Structure 1
Amino acid sequence: MPSDSLDPVQTVNALPRHLVGPGTSDPRTAWPFPFDEDWTLHQSENGTVFAVSPCLRLWTSLLPEPGTSRLGTWTIAATRVPFGPRDWQITFDATTPVELLHDVHAELLDLYLEDLNSEQDHLYAHGDTTPAYEAYAPLFAQGWGHSVETDGTQTFLSWDGLAGVRHRYAITDSDGLAWRAWGGHLSEPLWQAHFSIGTPTALVAAFTASLISTEPVHRAVTDIPSQFRRHLYLATPTAKPTPGTPPADPPPSPGAGRTR
């Protein structure tokens, strides 16, 4: 459906996820933590919002930066002891689609609960048993391109060339980035995500699975980046039938699907 035929405030279902825009900036949409039980939520006067685990070793935050192209930064970090040095860190531009953020935080909570109930350490490098291919196999499944560089990195590019994931597979030190992802043009991305060395691969895998998900997300037309609207599949949501209403006749068989 062409976006110029829609009212700017019209809500649509949109794909692919890497071009749909950030969506809501409400941290509770990104954070599935049980704040009514044991996780803590803090909000400072400058608008920064923190969520902290009961063990005080995991925290995640949103630091707004109005007036900048990325609008702010989401950060996830883990420490081995409360308030100690960071063992690993993930950062997302605030322009990252909130669905990707939610799925990474949901996996973070799952790993936390699994470690809590089993006394394991899946959230730290020595306990992370997820192989790297689980993070990039979904990209192959969706037809993403693949190139390998002699500097020890491999890059996966989406079929439309407007998203990428770069993996540093030859790691010789404990500093720097292991994974980087972006949406839009690499020279001027809509959003970026950075995963430091030591980040549990399961969190990266949750991110890539969400990134290539074919489940549409909901956006107002005006919130979708205008320069990429022509690259999106847009559809108006289908209203749920009123109880007791007989089902409509099935539509005619569709012709050939849209290809890229």
Structure 2
Amino acid sequence: MNVAADNILTVRGLCKNFGALAVTQQVDLDLARGARIGLIGPNGAGKTTLVNLLTGMLSSDAGTIVIDGHHIEKAKPETRVRHGLVRTHQINTLLMETSVRDNVAIAVAERQNYAWRMLRYGPQWRACLDEAQHYLEEMRIGHAGDRRVSELPYGEQRLLEIAIGLSLKPRILLLDEPGAGIPSTEAHIIHEALESLPPDIAILLIEHDMDLVFKFAREIVVLVLGRVLTRDVPANISSNAEVRSVYLGRSVV
């Protein structure tokens, strides 16, 4: 396997079938340190399945997933997180009646293998809360730390998910449709948040919002019927006739 030295994630020949249906077919994918990659494709292309395979929510039928020389294709999801592979979800999984700061602090405690329910109000929990506030400030929602999550505008809830992801110290961050369901009046906060993410983290952005993808990504991978159709810089993707055809003749920008 010929792999560039600066790649932090290397995927080769990844396959997944559901019965007779092949949903992931011989996918190869490389992410360099600090990469900014968009993953796009029509509905049914297999984008979410690919993310589930990378994170261990699904087991692959064939292929390899390597992080910094470590094979993780058979590893449990929590082991992949410890290797630095972290995901946010298309549908948020937040604790809605818990404070914004506590949502992040719980993730910090779990990263450090603390039994957080036993720590509440002790010095270790205080340290988790302080670290949590740092990530909230990074996502520009530090002002909301004491509010219940259910009180936040939806756009800020998506920022909270990213803050939780950052609290797990990712080296690779998979952002699964961070713009999903956000009103157009709030879309700018996601654009700004993505631009402010630490430059050393490799990011794979899975998104239907082409404006968001083309503003963020340095390269774009197009997935069709479980296969990588092409990978190129945004300007070439936008003018690629084959890419346009899989979007039913519409421009992808």
TM-score (norm 1): 0.25
Based on CA coordinates, which of the two structures has the bigger radius of gyration?
1
Identify, as 1 or 2, the structure richer in helix.
2
Identify, as 1 or 2, the structure richer in strand.
1
TM-score (norm 2): 0.25
